[in-house]
Chains A and B, each alone.
Chain A
Amino acid sequence: METVLVLGATSDIGIAIAKKFASEKYNIQLAARKPELLGPLQSDIQIRYNVECSVYAFDALIFHSHSMFFETLSPKPETTICIFGTMDDEEDAFNNWSLTQRMIDTNYTGAVSILNIAARSYLKNKKGTIIGISSVAGDRGRASKMIYGSSKAAFNAYLAGLRNKCFKDNVHVMTVKPGFVYTRMTENMELPALLTSTPAYLADVVYNGFARKKNVIYIKWFWRYIMLIIKSIPEFQFKKMKL
């Protein structure tokens, strides 16, 4: 049985993805900043799906701990899924450097730090899959998601580069761009039902994309075309819009 590492396992999306892969008979490694929260999810996965499930402490912001973290994983996961990320209020972040830096360091720097390590290990074995959960917000910079969007744009570019770099060595990289998702993060936001997915739906689509070795997937699929339209608006026009 292969093993999947879930980075950011306390988020609603992390939980859903861990359960989905467990239901498909993968052993699961749960990693999060607060591993002490993961006991119930660990027992749930073991009992429901009859797979192995272990828990690790992982902090995206403590970059120098990442190699040691990956070193201690036993067994080495064949698939690494990077889910962690933060989204603060943009206006607060704009006015407070530490918030801006935390968003960039979590969503981009931290992700690059750990995925470089995973990728090196996979390239050496000429086998492995990396999945990055990014966002449609990275497709074009706009005022309402300026910092968050730019961190995800950088992450998208990184994942695309990594895909290109790893392809010839049989290491697959998949970029996942969700639109709106019903999570605790968005519980108090009014979201358009048609454009919004549940974590369970997202996890199904991620698993199917993984099984079919997709490169870039949008969730839901029509976000690809929505973003295509948004990307095609000329900048002189775009800059005047309220987005």
Chain B
Amino acid sequence: MKKQIANWGNYPAMEADEESFVFEEQLDALVDKDVSFITRGNGRCYGDASLSERTISTLKFDKILSFDTENGVFECQSGITLDQVLNVIVPKGWFLPVTPGTKFITIGGALASDVHGKNHHVDGSISNHVVEFDLVLASKEQLTCSKENHPDLFEATLGGMGLTGVISRVKLRLKKIETAFIRQKQIKAANLQELIGLFEEYKDYTYSVAWIDCLKKGEHFGRSILMLGEHAKLDEIPPDQRPDALKLPAKKQITFPINMPSWVLNSLTVKSFNFLYYAKNFKKEINNIVSYEPFFYPLDAILHWNRLYGKSGFVQYQFVLPLSEKKGLIEILNRIADEGLGSFLAVLKVFGNQESMISFPKEGYTLALDFPVRKGLLEFLDELDEFVLKYDGRLYMSKDARMKPALLEAGYPGLKQFKSIIKKYNPGNKIRSVQSDRLLLTADS
């Protein structure tokens, strides 16, 4: 039965068959069918990466297989969400080694996107913490991949957007914590120059990310709030909390009820939001202890926040530029401010060094912003692509719904090798998505 599916940006949407499995033998039977497919987790990538006319959903393949609470090694099936993993590991004194800004993604999706978090400059992306995983190839053959076993597949699968096979089982190394709290520091920066200085000054913090107002021009161009954090040690939290230091935070969630009409979002409302967001930090610097939830997942508290962008959806644009190309960052931010197509949450972060075949992160500045889908948006984003190309940057495939193949090729030096690995293990392009076809990763030729 076809149903309407879309990823988090609600753009694009399409009709698709969705099939699920609980047991490995059922997965084998699904892979064996003579119809191409893409694997799909919780649909939290933004664009068209996990869309296809036929999808195999991993959501019922969500069992925890082992958890070594002494050494922090966690083994699970790929359809489990980070949310469920945290519920189990936090009370035992462990944390995800890397987490993106939402906990509603699956582990399989996290590997396929090779997700990064606020600690990239210290801990790298999730691929750094994967011990091994099982991959079911298009041929139904199942391989256990690690740095030692099938290293080509290991590398091509991490960040490979599901195109090498179905990730079925994952073994991860976790991070030890003493409490479920974060010692947080927030610093206001009056402009981009100051922010970049602060990133440098506080680079030893494990977690760092900045919210940046993209609509400000002039001397306040790039005003922002830098958010820094460390896992709080037991003696850093209030004494009355210490007996329950590892307790899970209470679930407080509200649901964004309806798709907002598109006229609500305009440069005036976004400017007001940005003003309030900046002004809420009354002091130049705030230091406090907060639960991990609001620190890592502020938006998860509002289920379906994507409805804010209305039925037509939104595109998230995330690029990275090398550290040497600060000029490029300024040019892009200027271009965005001129256009007035603002975004509530523009997020800037400095990536540490990373060498990989097809993963997004590399050393440099990464900026992510949302744009509601409107007339003229695609042309505008094409224009931004020109800057990204010019300054030796690249875009994040998990956010992408519209980039051209040439930009992918220019941005990812490992692409040729990646393509040859797909050709080898996914001959005939049995595993393919709307995105992989669009980007000519699985184009028939």
Contact = CB atoms under 8 A, between A and B. Distances in A.
Interface of A: 10, 12, 15, 37, 40-41, 43-44, 47-48, 184, 187-190
A48 B77 CA distance: 14
A44 B22 CA distance: 13
- From DSSP, what is the main secondary structure of chain A's interface residues? helix
B288 interface: no
B63 interface: yes
B77 A40 contact: yes
A184 B59 CA distance: 12
Given A37-B23, A48-B88, A188 B1 contact: yes
Contacts of B62: 44
Question: Which 4 pairs show the lowest CB-CB distances between chains A and B?
Answer: A40-B63, A44-B63, A47-B64, A44-B64
Contact of A43 (B1, B25, B66): B66
Interface string B64-99: 111100000000010000001001100000000000
Given A188-B1, A190-B1, A48 B64 contact: yes
B250 to A, nearest CB: 17
B20 A41 contact: no
Given A15-B22, A47-B88, A187-B19, A40 B65 contact: yes
B336 to A, nearest CB: 40
B20 A184 contact: yes
A41 B63 contact: yes
Contacts of A40: 63, 65, 77
- From DSSP, what is the main secondary structure of chain B's interface residues? mixed
A204 to B, nearest CB: 16
14 contacts: A10-B23, A15-B22, A37-B25, A40-B77, A41-B63, A44-B62, A44-B64, A44-B65, A47-B67, A48-B88, A184-B20, A184-B21, A187-B18, A190-B1
A184 B66 contact: no
A12 B21 CA distance: 10
Contacts of A188: 1
A190 B67 CA distance: 39
B45 to A, nearest CB: 23
Contact of B22 (A43, A47, A184): A184
B60 interface: yes
B68 to A, nearest CB: 10
A20 to B, nearest CB: 15
B64 A10 contact: no
Contacts of B63: 40-41, 43-44
Given A48-B64, A184-B21, 10 more contacts: A15-B22, A37-B23, A40-B65, A48-B84, A184-B26, A184-B60, A187-B20, A188-B1, A189-B1, A190-B1
A40 B64 CA distance: 7
Interface in B1-31: 1, 18-23, 25-26
A157 to B, nearest CB: 32
Given A12-B22, A15-B22, A43 B88 contact: no
Nearest to B91: A50
Contacts of A43: 63-66
B26, B65, B77, most chain A CB atoms within 10 A: B65
A41 B63 CA distance: 6
A47, A48, A184, A187, most chain B CB atoms within 10 A: A47
